Amino acid sequence: MGNDDHRRRKTPCGFCMAVFKWIPVLFITAVIAWSYYAYVVELCIRNSENRIGMIFMLLFYHLFLTLFMWSYWRTIMTSVGRIPDQWRIPDEEVSRLFRADSPDTQKRILNNFARDLPVTNRTMNGSVRFCEKCKIIKPDRAHHCSVCSCCVLKMDHHCPWVNNCVNFYNYKYFVLFLGYALVYCLYVAFTSLHDFVEFWKVGAGQLNASGMGRFHILFLFFIAIMFAISLVSLFGYHIYLVLVNRTTLESFRAPIFRVGGPDKNGYNLGRYANFCEVFGDDWQYWFLPVFSSRGDGYSYPTSSDQSRVSTSSPTQRYDAMGDTTTSRLDGNPTDKLIGASPLDTTNHHHNQSPHQVRSTSVLPTQLLQIQPPSTCRDELNERQQKLANGQSLDCSTPAAMSSPDERGVNGAAVYIEMIGDHPLTSADPAKGFPRPPNGDLPV
């Protein structure tokens, strides 16, 4: 509990409120105590004729009851914890924060104080989360509880039936409490079903002779069924929250991250990893109400951290690569690729192969814009007409030899293609044969 809650208890009104909070817990305890009497005394001891069956019924009943009450007690009595002093802002900084003339100034003050704290959550305006009542920087997934009057680590909700906040330290106990309560109610309902049916078969005279014991069994079955119906939905919902690593508050209001903004699945690491974060890595403690959760309650791994770990392996996840599509509105991606290539201004023709001719007088982005000379346009049209008619071409005389800028290495003609330029030499394997009509026209 927080310091404000202790101060409230010193007043008469605060003491009455503290007592009033325990009424739901006392009601649940009274129902469990009455169900114990109705099941053990009225159903098993006074009504059962099969002693061996009664022993097995009482054995499993006390097993489920023990796990149920153990989980319930741990959920109630586990403290919400206390935020360390390193998260608390000094009084002079708080005064300067409240005197700030603009939200940007407050944002700078909070960000400067929290620069060494492991916080990734932010407010709507991108500022570090700050609790005005507790005067602390809120750790990730922590919220201020008005009933407990303090900030609670990984707060799920405040449950009046346990008179405590469901938080990082007791969330496992709370889920086990719901599960074992459901098992307890179903077990009581199934084992009392036979006597419940027999209750409606007997006559009025036999009913009076049986006394009030049968009414206990009747109400025991009804109450077990009603509690089981309500617990099915609640337990199933929290199992879903465990598997997606989300609290009840986060399911209604997504956490805001410094990088990425609001994201309900920001802490989703996969179903098994999410389950182990709450129940621990050792399976021997999964179904026992002992603390085995991962972490310290102040920092949590995120789904982006999980993606970086997975992409560091040789086999990369495709969804971690981002959007691989290219917008056509940004222009031709081939032009961008060629334009980004460095220009080689050094003469390395003696080391280049015939298919790697590079002209130093023409920019790479201009290679795709070279037009045939006007003196050979008619010849080019004629060659295109022959190619369209399936006729062979005479390639003994190269075209486009009208200027030095249009020549390749050793005076060979240059063929402009989509990627590079290729000289046509006597060693060309296509000599004497027309080049396929793929856009590679001689210049």
Identify the CA nearest to 308 among candidates 295, 300, 319: 319
Burial class (CB in 10 A: 0-12, 13-18, 19+), 154: buried
CA distances to 10, 241, 257 from 301, in Å: 41, 16, 12
Phi/psi for 260 (5° steps) reads: 115, -20
Q: Would you state the pLDDT for residue 196?
A: 82
Using an 8 Å Cβ cutoff, are 110 and 130 in contact? yes
In sequence order, the 6+-apart residues with CB closer than 8 A to the CB of 76 are 25, 162, 163, 164
Is residue 148's pLDDT more than 50? yes
State mean pLDDT over 320-332.
34
Q: Tell me, what's the pLDDT at 237? A: 97
Q: Say if CB 412 and CB 359 are below 8 A apart.
A: no
Are β-strands 136-137 and 143-145 bridged in parallel, bridged antiparallel, or unpaired?
A: unpaired
Asked whether the predicted pLDDT for residue 112 surpasses 80, the reply is yes
Using one digit for the tens of pLDDT, what is the confidence trace for 182-240? 999 999 999 999 888 877 776 444 443 356 777 888 899 999 999 999 999 999 999 99
pLDDT per position as a tens digit, 3-55: 444 445 567 787 888 889 999 999 999 999 999 999 999 888 888 778 898 99
pLDDT, position 125: 86
Question: What are the domain boundaries of the chain?
Answer: 2-80+163-227, 85-138
> How confident is the model over 166-181, as pLDDT tens digits?
999 999 999 999 999 9
Element (H, E) at 402: none
Per-residue confidence at 380, pLDDT binned at 50, 70, 90?
low
Instruction: Compute the mean pLDDT over every residue in the chain, rounded to the nearest whole number.
Output: 75
- Tell me how far apart the alpha carbons of residues 89 and 327 are, in angstroms, rounded to a whole number: 48
Note if 159 is an active site residue.
yes
Give me the half-sphere count of Cα atoms (radius 13 Å) on the Cβ side of residue 191. 24
> Active site residue: 159, 276, 376, 395, which one?
159
Q: Measure the CA–CA gap between 105 and 107, rounded to whole angstroms.
A: 5
Three-state secondary structure call for residue 424: strand
pLDDT: is 336 or 142 the higher one? Answer: 142
**Which of these ranges, 56-65, 144-153, 339-348, has the smallest mean pLDDT?**
339-348
pLDDT tens, 262-318?
999 999 999 999 999 999 999 999 999 999 999 999 999 998 876 665 555 433 333
**Looking at residues 141-154, what average pLDDT do you find?**
94
Least confident span in 90-104, 149-163, 261-275, 286-300: 90-104
Considering the entire predicted model, what is its pTM?
Answer: 0.67
pLDDT in the model for residue 141 = 95
The pLDDT score that the predictor gives to residue 48 is 77
Instruction: Give percent of the chain with pLDDT exceeding 90.
Output: 47
Taking only the tens place, the pLDDT of each residue in 350-369 is 444 434 434 444 444 443 44
